[in-house]
Amino acid sequence: MDELLKALAAVALDVSTAEDALDEGAAGAARDSLDAAADGLAVLRSRWPALDARERRVLGAAAAPVRARLDAARARMPRRAAVSTGLAEADPEQETDPLH
């Protein structure tokens, strides 16, 4: 059980790191931490079938607020936008038939 709670604590730390990065406007760092947190939760989810009822109850209760914080931090992430909306320039060499 200790191993599971330590793994969940690592996920919570990743979420905290992401929240701090978002507060500082560092979306790239936040995205990396959120991805790490999501990966950590996925590992815990994969172990779920092997857990007994008590372990599921404890881990589920502890993981719910961490998951809520992860979702809230993801909602705060700025949307990705294109750097430029200009048109691509035509390459004159692509318009010539190389065989002629």
**Full domain range(s) for residue 18:** 2-76
- What is d(CA 28, CA 3) in angstroms, rounded to the nearest whole number? 29
Residue 82 inside a domain? The answer is no
Q: What is the pTM of this model?
A: 0.72
Give the model's pLDDT for residue 77.
87
Per-residue pLDDT of the chain (100 residues; tens, 9 = 90+): 789 899 999 999 999 999 999 998 888 889 999 999 999 999 999 998 999 999 999 999 999 999 999 999 999 988 876 666 666 677 666 666 666 5
Residue 98 inside a domain? The answer is no
Residue 96 inside a domain? The answer is no
Residue 100 inside a domain? The answer is no
- What is d(CA 87, CA 83) in angstroms, rounded to the nearest whole number? 12
Q: Considering its fold, how many domains does the chain have in total?
A: 1
Residue 39 inside a domain? The answer is yes
Residue 12 inside a domain? The answer is yes
Residue 81 inside a domain? The answer is no
Residue 64 inside a domain? The answer is yes
3-state helix, strand, coil in the chain (%, to 5): 75, 0, 25
